[in-house]
Structure 1
Amino acid sequence: MRTRLVGIVAGILSWVGLALAVVLVLHVVLTVGGANPDNPITSTVKAIAEPVSLAFKDLFRPNDASLRTIVNFGLAAIFWLAVRAIVLKLVRRLG
């Protein structure tokens, strides 16, 4: 029973961490690709990505807006993938 519960928790955490990283990467793609900022998809992705990026949102301030988005939101995505890996390891060890 415990093993199954740990598996379920690990699965949920894995998907959440992956979803956060995907939203951040999608924001980078939409921004760098020049997506219409007034489009509901673009604005929704941005509304989710900005708080998820934490302090990475303005970590680096290059003059080029595209580069700024790539670096800062890209680092946030890498951060969430690393957190995901660490949390999954801890959950599986405790289980």
Structure 2
Amino acid sequence: MTEDVSTSAHEGGMRRADLRRVRARVVGVLITAVRWGGTACAALLAIHVVLTVGGANPDNGITRFMAKWADPLALGFQDLFTPDDPKLAVLLNYGIAALFWLIATSMAAKILRAIA
């Protein structure tokens, strides 16, 4: 009879350990997804900055694609600074937006790691 109780307690401990491992793995995958998402957003913004400052053809498909995606990802930073030079405006505003994505996703990953 004591074997049944100890076996049951042992199995309960094993289940808790398994649940902890699964939770840690799920949180790890979530952290990775958050980091990749933030990095992708920052990269799109940075590419838009490079194409604009570098003088890329605005009618080119790649340039239009990057500009199309950069605007919503800038999250209101598009007109934070309004210098006379439009290239400087893109550099400042979209560059700050890219930094924001990197910092925000880093903080989100740290919060997720702390919760786990």
* TM-score bucket (shorter structure): over 0.9
- 1:72 Cα shift? 0.4
Residue 3 of structure 1: aligned partner: 24
For residues 7-55 of structure 1, what are the alpha-carbon distances to aligned partners after superposition, in whole Å with 9 as ceiling and x for unaligned?
1000000000000000010000000111111111110110000110011
1:53 equivalenced with 2:86 (yes/no) = no
Number of positions where the alignment pairs a residue of Structure 1 with one of Structure 2: 95
Number of the residue aligned with 1:18: 39
Q: Where in structure 1 are there 5+ consecutive unaligned residues?
A: none
* Equivalent in 56, 59, 62 of residue 35 of structure 1: 56
C-alpha distance in structure 2 between counterparts of 1:48 and 1:66, whole Å = 18
Distance 1:47 1:20 in 2: 13
TM-score, structure 2 normalization: 0.80
Letter of the 1:38 partner, please give it: D
What corresponds to 2:95 in structure 1? 74
**Rg larger in structure:** 2
Q: How many percent of aligned residue pairs carry the same amino acid?
A: 45
- Specify which structure has the bigger relative contact order, considering alpha-carbon pairs within 8 angstroms and separated by 6 or more residues: 1
AA paired with 1:27? H
Which residue of the other structure, out of 64, 69, 72, is the alignment partner of 2:85? 64
Aligned-residue Cα RMSD (Å) equals 0.6
Q: 3-state SS of the aligned residue for 1:56?
A: coil
Which whole-Å CA distance do the structure 1 matches of 2:67 and 2:75 have between them? 13
TM-score normalized by the length of structure 1: 0.97
- Structure 2: tracts of 5 or more residues without a match: 1-21
Query: After the TM superposition, which parts of structure 1 deviate over 3 Å for at least 4 consecutive aligned residues?
Result: none
Question: Aligned-pair distance for 1:4?
Answer: 0.5
